[in-house]
Amino acid sequence: MNWIYKQPVEIFFGCGEINRIFDLVKGYNAPLIVCSPYFVRSGLAENLKAEIKNAGIFSNVSPNPDIREVNECSEVLRQNKNDIIIALGGGSVIDLAKAASLKLNDIREVWGTGKDVTAEPVPIIAVPTTAGTGSEVTCVSVLTDRKTDRKMPLSSEKLYPKQAVVDPELLHSLPPHITASSGIDVLCHAVEGFWSKNHQPVCDTLALKAAKLILKYLPTAYKEPDNKNAREKTAEASLLAGLAFNLPKTTASHACSFPLTSIYSIPHGEACGLTLDYFVRINGEGEHTKELIKELGYKNANEFADKIYRLKKETGLRTGLADLNLSDEAVTRLVELSHHPNLYNNPVEITDDILFDMYNKLRKE
């Protein structure tokens, strides 16, 4: 087996590390803080701005960021001649910052085209505030075109942040439902990164550790938002899972999540987690996946899938789609739109029959 491992992002981890930003921006002339409106309301963005010379704030970022928001941020970067971005937020903020950092007139010049990204980005200091996406160490930016319901990733070496500042204290303000939704995304990254067709030993090792941590600490972080240890361990799991899936890429659960989010507004992590136990049962007979299941301490795929189902119940995540009253046509559309490139990265071939079976089970639950 031949493989490559590469990770260019400098990582700072630990409580209080947010203050590291002040050192990291030294030498830059015009920093832009990109954040979600939540951090304007909480006062954190203004506090940072007050301490950083010439800093500006861009906060028009919604969950699952729209390409128009990216273009608006690019315009701000061009006009203000910003030379460093501080991306303070969850995956949505970090992904928007990555795409905007290219300063294109319209991100559709590259997003959804398969063309190589050649623009030189404004460097990014990524400060994740959810334990979920791992976007702070990945070369991916997931964007949505709300006019066409299309959600898909843009992937390029140019999209790696320069630095990641992971401060678990930033997670304490997360409401339980976002803790759960982003937390199950961590489990998906770990499991999918491990069984991906492109898996390799370094990423496997990271994936296994990340999966163990998130299975152990997510329920506590959900029930006790101020539990320091649980928040720290979920932040660690998220970072490791980001490193674990970045190169191998995700698989069937992520492929199916994109239409579930863009059509039915199911939060990203919750949409990924919805199908994870189903795909554990499908992929569970492969030798490599069996190794994961065994290392995690489960006897077989069914036992691990049942554990994931219970974890979703315990953390208030959806386990079905019955509330959406999906018609036959809606199920057919979901099957069609699940044929995203990540589906072909799954270790077992996912046929339309499998997808129909899965969505028909989910629509009744």
Residues that bind ligand NAD (CB under 6 A): 36, 38, 63-64, 89-93, 95, 129-130, 132-135, 138, 140-142, 170-171, 173-174, 178, 182, 185, 268-269
Our CB check for ligand NAD shows the closer of 170 and 206 to be 170
φ/ψ of 12, rounded to 5, equals -120, 125
Please choose, from the candidates 231, 176, 206, the residue with its C-alpha nearest in 3D space to the C-alpha of residue 5. 206
To ligand NAD, the closest distance from the beta carbon of 135 in angstroms equals 4
Please choose, from the candidates 132, 219, 129, 220, the residue with its C-alpha nearest in 3D space to the C-alpha of residue 174. 129
Our CB check for ligand NAD shows the closer of 130 and 283 to be 130
φ/ψ of 188, rounded to 5, equals -60, -45
Contact 240, 185 (CB under 8 A): no
Contacts of 147 (CB under 8 A, 6+ apart): none
To ligand NAD, the closest distance from the beta carbon of 183 in angstroms equals 9
To ligand NAD, the closest distance from the beta carbon of 95 in angstroms equals 5
Our CB check for ligand NAD shows the closer of 233 and 268 to be 268
- Alpha helices (H) along the chain: 20-24, 37-41, 44-51, 67-80, 91-100, 176-195, 201-223, 228-246, 252-264, 268-283, 287-295, 301-314, 328-337, 352-364
To ligand NAD, the closest distance from the beta carbon of 269 in angstroms equals 5
> Residue 311 is encoded by which pair of tokens?
């974890």
Our CB check for ligand NAD shows the closer of 63 and 286 to be 63
Distance CA 295, CA 273 (A): 20
Please choose, from the candidates 185, 177, 212, the residue with its C-alpha nearest in 3D space to the C-alpha of residue 292. 212
To ligand NAD, the closest distance from the beta carbon of 248 in angstroms equals 12
To ligand NAD, the closest distance from the beta carbon of 364 in angstroms equals 27
What count of other Cβ atoms lies within 10 Å of the Cβ of residue 285?
Answer: 12
Our CB check for ligand NAD shows the closer of 91 and 347 to be 91
Our CB check for ligand NAD shows the closer of 192 and 284 to be 192
